[in-house]
Amino acid sequence: MDMMTTMQERRSVRSFTNRALEPDIPELIAEMRSSTSFLPAIFTASIPMIYIPVQGQKTEEGVRLGTYGVIRGHQGMITGSCSNCDEEVLQFGYEMEKIILQLCNLGIGSCWLGGTFNRKLYSSYLQVPETQIIPAVIPIGYAADASRALDTIMRRLAGSDRRLPMGELFFRGDFDHPIDASSAERLWYRGLEMVRIAPSASNKQPWRGVVSAEGHQVHLYLHENPKYNRSLGYPIQLLDMGIAMTHLELAFHALSLPGSWHISDPCIDLPHDQLRYIASYTS
Ligand SMILES: Cc1cc2nc3c(=O)[nH]c(=O)nc-3n(C[C@H](O)[C@H](O)[C@H](O)COP(=O)(O)O)c2cc1C
């Protein structure tokens, strides 16, 4: 599958078959991360990503790493730890989504969990230092054909099948000019559609983007919900922004618009104070 199709077909999977995963997942992840295109220069932290094989919710040592019953049948967990700051949580979201999409390309399903797991239990199992946090854990496995009633409830609660219209998310030149269907044939428009369908915590879709007048740059912003963003003690919406960066970059590459990330605030007038500049992509 090409990356555009992968992003279009990806869904959060909460019910898995009991089919075992291939044992080389850790090597696969290490290989992905060692590719030169994996990590842009704007990210400087070294974030450990760990794979934990599980069966029946238990690790090989018999430790029960549950998900409050939200996930069933997964065969492994991917997680990692980083400092509790915006930059590293952003990087965690970016790196993890790159891994998730490549696994998805191999037919392996997953679901981001930022809330429905016992953070303390995972921290103590992985002996995470007190200065670090586990922003999220990702159960992985092969998706079950039939989903459970709980999956439907979780999707309904988060409104997972709805996305904001393009014109509420993306703008041209400044925030006064929403993009409209007259740009639909442009390659960058098709790239931004892949950001629109990305996963986000509680499906809040906090990403906003301003495309430069000539169409070569996209400036990404967080439309923060301050109360929600701090509700778990770490900036969960920065995970969403890292995820959005990965979708944008992979889509633009697939559309023959390769480019790079930089952080240089274009100082565009902001219509309200919940918008925060994150990064820009130049192709
Ligand atoms: C950072 C992040 C945290 C999430 N946390 C949870 C969670 O704790 N429990 C859960 O069931 N789903 C969680 N999700 C999944 C979202 O609810 C889901 O991505 C969203 O509703 C869109 O649905 P989709 O991924 O199927 O497109 C999380 C997603 C993200 C990106």
**CATH number of the domain that 127 lies in?**
3.40.109.10
Are residues 174 and 146 part of one domain? no
Are residues 195 and 115 part of one domain? no
Print the domain residue range for 204: 163-282
Query: Which residue shows structure tokens 């996963």?
Result: 199
Are residues 134 and 234 part of one domain? no
Q: Which helix (H) or strand (E) holds 137?
A: strand 137-141
Tell me if 136 sits within 8 A of 96, measured CB to CB: yes
Cα-to-centroid distance, 201 and ligand 1 (Å): 5
Q: Which residues, other chains included, contact 125 with Cβ-Cβ below 8 Å and sequence gap of 6+?
A: 59, 63, 65
Are residues 150 and 29 part of one domain? yes
Q: Which of 127, 154, 181 is where one domain is finished?
A: 154
Phi, psi of 214 (to 5 degrees): -85, -5
Are residues 124 and 70 part of one domain? yes
Q: Which of 154, 183, 218 is where one domain is finished?
A: 154
- The number of domains in the chain is 2
Are residues 177 and 143 part of one domain? no
Are residues 209 and 107 part of one domain? no
Are residues 138 and 225 part of one domain? no
Question: Which residue type is seen at 53?
Answer: P
CA distance 170 to 180: 9
Are residues 145 and 8 part of one domain? yes
Is 201 a pocket residue for ligand 1 (Cβ < 6 Å)? yes
Query: Which residue shows structure tokens 């369908």?
Result: 197
Are residues 26 and 147 part of one domain? yes
Helix (H) and strand (E) counts in the chain:
9, 12
Chain centre to alpha carbon of residue 52: 19
Is 240 a pocket residue for ligand 1 (Cβ < 6 Å)? yes
Q: Which residues, other chains included, contact 64 with Cβ-Cβ below 8 Å and sequence gap of 6+?
A: 57, 58
Q: How is residue 4 written in tokens?
A: 């555009």
Whether the model pTM is above 0.95? yes
Kindly give the residue spans of alpha helices, DSSP state H, lying in 127-208. Answer: 149-158, 166-169, 187-196
Which is the closest atom of ligand 1 to the Cα of 71? 11
Cβ neighbourhood burial of 235 (10 Å; 0-12, 13-18, 19+): buried
Q: Choose the residue to mutate in 10, 79, 111, 140 for probing ligand 1, maximizing ligand atoms within 8 Å of C-beta.
A: 111
Is 66 a pocket residue for ligand 1 (Cβ < 6 Å)? no
In a structure prediction context, what are the per-residue pLDDT tens digits for the chain, which is 283 residues long?
799 999 999 999 999 998 999 999 999 999 999 999 999 999 999 999 999 999 988 999 999 998 989 999 999 999 999 999 999 999 999 999 999 999 999 999 999 999 999 999 999 999 999 999 999 999 999 999 887 899 999 999 999 999 999 999 999 999 999 999 999 999 999 999 999 999 999 999 999 999 999 889 999 999 999 999 999 999 999 999 999 999 999 999 999 999 999 999 999 999 999 999 999 999 9
Is 248 a pocket residue for ligand 1 (Cβ < 6 Å)? no
Q: Which of 131, 154, 177 is where one domain is finished?
A: 154
Are residues 197 and 239 part of one domain? yes
| CATH number of the structural domain spanning residue 247 | 3.40.109.30
Are residues 140 and 9 part of one domain? yes
Cβ count near 202 (within 10 Å)? 18
How many residues does this entry show for the chain? Answer: 283
